[in-house]
Structure 1
């Protein structure tokens, strides 16, 4: 089945329905865990997961919760994801994927997943202030990597924008109420941080 055929299928909001949507492909797959990455699953299944990764990750997480044997393969496949479409990840789904993928973390997997999160680049001051309030409310529910990422994004916003001192105080006060947790370090300062070549760990 062509990639476009997958994209044209109606998206189902119900979790079980989403899994049923793809069950025929997954149940017919010949999963070979001992094979190299590109030969471990069928071409149809590779195409399916590429499409699910390209979307908002909700259906991807639903599939992995029902077919956990593919979790390692999906995390590894993020190492080859140099770019994405304009589809940003759903933040909650991205957090669930990070939780599912923790045993298989690599710097490229985490970094490319974080890159897929909704960007704050075009946010107004009011939108950033509202998002800080959301961060405060969601910090116990979102994965620490995501919370830390957005705290850094807000800090960068305050540094780049010409804000009134009182505006900076408001944003900083909100961030001070958010707990920064020590978590997986996916940063890199060498050339691999830019290239993200597949052999990097």
Structure 2
């Protein structure tokens, strides 16, 4: 990983912050269903689920698409960029997950355009709908952030969002949630290395449990999170 300058590090911290107003906090990515069904009951269950997803799940494919959007932006290769955006839209297993990806992508691009108007040409090139992973890859490439660092931040941001959801749903203590995030550091680092080595034909996931949880989310009797 190349050294991050102070400005690039601050840019990365800002775009991967869970408090970024793009709606990530309103989604549980199947966790609400799993907790309601008592499949995930405590911190250990949650940790096992997150590790499974980092090793085999859809987040690996999503992050791999982010890296490809990053590289296509660097090369100014709009054709490849759009191809991966369309591919990932088709690869989303459920309507809920697709709508989440599109909504967060749209919100991120609008936000970046407002706070840094010089990115307007990139926002227009991304088109609509644009998946969140694609938008994230585009902006981090524009800011010339190291790809390995961007990948690490993307995965940690994903894990933190789900941990924050579980803190409310199980519920868990805030300290327990932070300890769990710390425990995931080695898994996130390993997943980053593996994802960066994936070839295009290797993009796949074994996440049928996530798909079923997502499909059943909208029919729960009560919901805290968006479906």
TM-score normalised over the length of structure 1? 0.28
1 or 2, which has the higher helix percentage? 2
- Structure ranking higher on relative contact order (CA contacts 8 Å, 6+ apart): 2
Larger CA Rg, structure 1 vs 2: 1
TM-score normalised over the length of structure 2? 0.26
